[in-house]
Structures are given as structure tokens and as C-alpha cells.
Amino acid sequence: MRHWWQEAVIYQIYPRSFKDSNGDGIGDLQGIISKLDHLKWLGINVLWLSPFYKSPNADNGYDISDYQNIMDEFGTMADFDQLLAAAHQKGIKLIIDLVVNHSSDEHFWFQESRKSKDNPYRDYYIWRPPLNGHATPPNDWISFFSGKAWDLDPITNEYYLHLFAKKQPDLNWENPKLRQEIYKMMHFWCQKGVDGFRMDVIAFLSKDTSFPNYAEGQFGNLKSYANGPRIHEFLQEMHREVLCKYDVMTVGEAFGVESHQINDYVGKSRKELNMCFHFDYVGIDRDEKNFFKAKPNWKLSDLKAILAKWDVALGEEGWNSLYFGNHDNPRMVSRFGNDGAFHKKSAKMLATVLMTMRGTPYIYQGDEIGMTNTPFHDIKELDDIQAKNAWQELVVEGGADPVEFMKDMNLTSRDHARTPVCWDASRNAGFTDGERTWLKINPLYEKINVTAAYEDKNSILWYYKKLIAFRQATPTLIYGAYQDIAPEDEAIFAYSRVLESDMYLIIHNFSDKITYFTVPKESLPKTEGIWRCCLANYEVTNGETQPNNHPLEMRPYESRVYHFTEMNFE
Ligand code: ISL
Ligand code: CA
């Protein structure tokens, strides 16, 4: 059984940074509507919108104060209805972000809940008395945004849990009344006609309600509250109560889920989710002990091992997602490619990986033109609460070296993905016609912008368009079996995709040096046939059309997609 969300190419929009339509320097829904033709031209099938609901923006919308109303800065519900209709009219589906592990502390439910211990909304959140009667939190958990994961609320002198910011109290999924409120909200959006949900930190919904101390150190605590005892019960209830009633897709942000657990979430017989984003390579270039510290010399063989591990774990039972960028990660060309001498080649190479692997590819806004990381010189230039709280804790209170900290932020900050999309070379990169923008503009905008990319037929943008069309027209690239054919190679990433007798051989040079590669005999088809290089990010002379009879000379960041056609002897 094949589904539309397996054949789709999905594009993520972070509304705050996509396009401003009213000159206040903040992206908005009308801005997205004004750029739908760009997305239609690109050929994407689905839009994922990061949160656009009412929010005080402690975490830029991932702190929701009203799930059924639009954030003031982004516009009105009429704007949303217009966006949804316009996208559907252009044949583009739209999925929305479901952030229900926590709400904003400004949500009506929390305002009520904190009033008294017997308030009807008390158990919509997770409250615990101080340990042994004095101001000690119930356990040693820390927040992802620094500090403790518990905050003592003076009104009732109890702690409430917040795995993220203080202003993001965790919702209590043990409470069936809360769960029914969430399902009612999901029906509201499904009845409007949205085509699915991306689900924020979905594996955290069920916690061990004895709230034990950590098993291990920072981030090792994921075992303490990810994949809790009732997570599958809750997701199957959500499926029964809401999801099974609509033709919608779901993708869980599976922070904390390990490959051996994945088909419990996305197995086709599970009636839970359709696919997930895993986090196994999000830390590949990060210091094990300090997530904000970069570890630049990551190994290609480690990345390939992770990709292969998840492909095997999902097998035919599950379905994978592929992403190299999103609103929480630095720009992929700066992180996994080469944003200097080989900017264009490496951006195209990464795009080729994204579009030829097994699983639904996700493009993050601006990656289609190869937007790079932005130089941040001072903490005041950063907006992200994760960075600012870390600065406060590590530098201001902890005495860490501010220069070192900013060096790390220039490699790892989430703000890299949140600088405004560059639409042209005019002031403020065509993102706004106002004076200022909410976050600094990437200084390379005169060179790297959508308009310049349209005008350059050899641009990253045109290459994405070609790649997307190629993938959509090639079932073998969507459904074909995946096999890494050189897992140990630290420069070459080469794999096959096979569907029945149709075979593609895809070879990338992840290095800035010319690298020779011989396709292993055992990876080649046993039958006679002809090879054709059907897509590449360099000019391929006809001498390179035969990948099977001599070492291939792969140029820096070169990608080649070879198609094998069996010679049928009649
Ligand atoms: O700690 C991280 C590891 O990557 C963060 O990037 C991030 O907090 C984590 O991936 C969970 O992300 C989701 O939930 C957060 C929100 O800040 C992120 O933007 C969202 O993607 C809390 O809602
Ligand atoms: Ca605006």
C-alpha cells in the first residue's frame, strides 16, 4: 500500500523568518501566501508550518497560549484560511506543528491551574510538593534551556515541571480530560482541512510519574522521560480519537527515540504515526558533554552508519524521513558541506543525498538557495532562548569564556536557521520593506538570494527543482531498497537503490579533494546492461558514463546518479 506522504517532498517554513508582508520586520502568513508560487515552481508537495498560534514568543511560538488562534504578529485566522485555500488551490498540502508536550504559561489552562491545588485545571499540568518540605525540587532533572526542569510557584508553594523554558510548563498527559482537550483542538484543525501534523518532542508525552532522578548526565536524561510507560497508549488513543478519521499524515519529532524503538511508533500496523525525525546525527558534530560545543572533525563513516542503521531498523514495516536542516539546526551547507570554496557544489551534493535516499525528504526554507550560517559577533545578536539561557548560565554565572562561547554559537546556534530568507539583493534582502528585521540578515544576501538564483540556470535552486522532479518521477528512488556499497570510505558516500530490476547507483564525494573510487564488483548487477549518468552536479563527460570498469575520478563534492538498464537479449 503506497501513500501520498511517501511520495511527497516536504518544505518547512518557519513563519517568523520566511517573508514579511506588512513592514514590521517579522514574517507573517500573508508573506507566505505571497511566495506560494516560488514553492509551486520548486515542485514541493507539502508545506510544514512551524507554529503560528497565539504565543508570547518565549520560544518563538513553541510556547502556545491559545491553540485555536493566530499569533498577533502573524495575522488573523482569515489569513490562515486564505493560506490553506491558496496552497490547496496550487496542489500543495499543508501540515501544522502540534506542540502538546507543553503549553505557554500564559495559556488560560495554566493561569487557572496555578491558582489553587483544587482548581479544576490543576491536573492539566505536573505539580509536585517540594522534597522533605523545603525548597528542593522533586528530582535532579534539568531543562533543555538551562537551569532546573522544575519551578517553585509561590501561590501554592509547589513545583511545576518544564522540560524546556519556565514559560513552557509540561502538560499532564496522565489526565484524560487534558487529552480530550487536545483531541478536540486537533479536530478543529482537521475540520479546517489541514493535511496533517508534525508533532513536537512527541516521545516526551508520557513520563515515569515517579519522577526518578537521572540515570546519567546532561541529555543522557532522555531515558528518564522519553518513551515513557504510556506513550504508545496515548498515541494509539490519539490515532483512534482523531487521526484515523481524516486523510492526514503525521511526522513525530522523535527526540530520544532510538532505532530499535522506532517501529513501535511508525510501524504500519501500529496505528500511531506515519514517520519520525530521528536525532542520531544531530549530535555527530557536537561535543558529547556540551551540546553547544562543536566537534568539527566528524567522520563520514559515522554519518553513513547512522543512515544505514535507521534504514535497516525501519525496513519494510516503517517509513523514514530525511532532513539535514530545520529551525533548530545550523545551515546544512555550513555544517555538512563547504560554505567556502565549494559552496555551490557541496550544497548541490547534499541536496542529491536528500533526494535519492529512502524516505520522505524535508527541505528547510532557504536551503534551496544554499543559505549559510550567519556570523554572530555578540550575544545580543542572538535571539534563541536556548542560546541566551546558556550564556546566562555558562558565561554570566559560570564564568565561561565569552569568546569561546560565541565561537561555539557561530557553529551550533539555532539562530543560523532563523535569519530571514533572502529574496533579493535589495535592502533587508527583500524580506521586508520595513526599516528593521527581528533577527539580523545574513551578510551574504547580495550573492545568495532567491532572485539571483532564478537568474542563474546553474544555481542551487534550479538544481533542487530538477532533483525534486527527478525524484517524483522515479519510483525506484522513492521505494527502492537502499544499500551502502562503501560504508568504511571516509570521503566517498556511495549506495544503490533497487526496485525489482531497476537500479540506480549514487556516488558522492564528501571531500574537497579529487578522490578515486572503484565500484565494488559485488555491488554491480550480474546481468549485462548499460549505464547512464542521468544526474550530476558537475558536467559529466561521456568518459564517466561507465561506473563499472575503472576507478571513477570524483571531483570535490561531486555527486553522480547512474541508472542501470538491463540488456534484454531477445
Ligand atoms: O535541545 C535540542 C536538541 O536539538 C533543541 O534543538 C530542541 O529543543 C529539541 O530538538 C526539541 O525541539 C522542539 O521542541 C522545543 C523547541 O524549542 C524546538 O524548536 C522544537 O523543534 C520545545 O518546544
Ligand atoms: Ca510582518
Which pLDDT belongs to residue 530?
85
Distance 441 CA to ligand 2 centre (A): 15
Mutate to test the pocket of ligand 1, among 201, 292, 386 (most ligand atoms within 8 A of CB): 201
Q: What is the mean pLDDT of residues 437-441?
A: 98
Distance (Å, whole) CA 203 – CA 102: 12
- 201 Cβ closer than 6 Å to some ligand 1 atom: yes
The secondary structure of 486-522 as a DSSP string is -TT-SSEEEEEEEETTEEEEEEEE-SSS-EEE---GG
**Rounded CA separation 366/439 (Å):** 15
Q: Which residues pair with 173 in a beta bridge?
A: none
Active-site position among 195, 200, 368, 544: 200
Q: Specify the 3-state DSSP secondary structure of 47.
A: strand
> What do you get for the CA distance between the two ends of the chain, in Å?
34
Distance between Cα 197 and ligand 1 center (Å): 16
CB of 415 within 6 A of ligand 1: the answer is: no
Closest-approaching ligand to the CA atom of 16: 2
- Interatomic CA distance for residues 14 and 12, integer angstroms: 7
Residue 200 CB less than 6 A away from ligand 1: yes
Alpha-carbon separation of residue 224 from 139, 141, 210, 218 (angstroms) = 11, 9, 10, 11
**Mean pLDDT to the nearest integer, 355-368:** 98
Per-residue pLDDT, 221: 66
Angle separating helix axes 460-472 and 343-356, nearest 10 degrees = 10
Mean pLDDT of 460-478: 98
Read off the pLDDT band of 11 (50, 70, 90): very high
Atom of ligand 1 nearest to the CA of 144: 1
| Sole residue written with cell 563499472 | 548
- The residue whose CA is least distant from atom 8 of ligand 1 is 144
Atom of ligand 1 nearest to the CA of 255: 10
pLDDT reported for residue 23: 98
Cell 526599516 locates to 435
- Residue 4 has, within 13 A of its CA and on its CB side, a CA count of 13
Cell of 344: 555551490
**Position 316 confidence tier, pLDDT thresholds 50, 70, 90:** very high
Nearest CA to 17 out of 475, 406, 325, 337 is that of: 325
Q: Whose CA is nearest to atom 7 of ligand 1?
A: 328
3-state DSSP percent of the chain in helix, strand and coil, to 5: 35, 20, 50
> Residue 98's beta-bridge partner residues?
199
Question: Does the annotation mark 200 as catalytic?
Answer: yes
For the Cβ of 142 lying below 6 angstroms from any atom of ligand 1, the answer is no
pLDDT score of 546 more than 90: no
Greatest C-alpha distance within the chain: 87
Instruction: Compute, in angstroms, the gap from residue 414 CA to the centroid of ligand 1.
Output: 9
Q: What angle do CA 359, 365, 370 make, to 5 degrees?
A: 95
Of the residues 168, 328, 413, which should be mutated to test ligand 1's pocket, given the most ligand atoms within 8 Å of the CB?
Answer: 328
Residue 157 Cα, ligand 1 centroid: separation in angstroms?
A: 29
253 flagged as catalytic: yes
Q: Nearest ligand, CA of residue 74?
A: 2
Q: Lowest-pLDDT range, 144-158, 204-218, 221-235?
A: 204-218
Ligand 1 pocket, 255 CB below 6 A? yes
Active-site pick, 253, 328, 383, 484 = 253
Ligand (nearest to CA of 434): 2
Q: Which one of 64, 144, 166, 323 would you pick to mutate in the ligand 1 pocket, going by the greatest count of ligand atoms within 8 A of its CB? A: 144
Residue 205 predicted with pLDDT over 90: yes
Beta bridge partners of 66: 54
214 band by pLDDT with thresholds 50, 70 and 90: confident
Average pLDDT, the chain: 95
Q: What is the per-residue pLDDT for 542?
A: 56
The alpha carbon of 349 and the centre of ligand 1 are apart by a number of angstroms equal to 27
Write out pLDDT tens, residues 273-297: 999 999 998 889 988 778 888 887 8
Kindly report, residue by residue over 66-94, the tens digit of the pLDDT. Answer: 999 999 999 999 999 999 999 999 999 99
What pLDDT does residue 527 have?
A: 84
What's the confidence (pLDDT) of residue 531?
87
Burial classification of residue 78, based on how many CB atoms lie within 10 Å of its CB (0-12 exposed, 13-18 middle, 19 or more buried): exposed
Q: β-strands 196-199, 150-153: how paired? A: unpaired
**279 CA closest ligand 1 atom index:** 4
Identify which has the larger pLDDT, 222 or 509.
509
- Residue-wise pLDDT for 220-258, tens only, equals 567 778 999 999 999 999 999 999 999 999 999 999 999
The DSSP result for 282-332, as a single string, is TTTTB-SS-TTSB-----HHHHHHHHHHHHHHHTTTS-BEE-S--TTS--H
- 46-67 confidence digits (pLDDT tens): 999 999 999 999 999 999 999 9
Q: 282 in ligand 1 pocket by Cβ < 6 Å?
A: yes
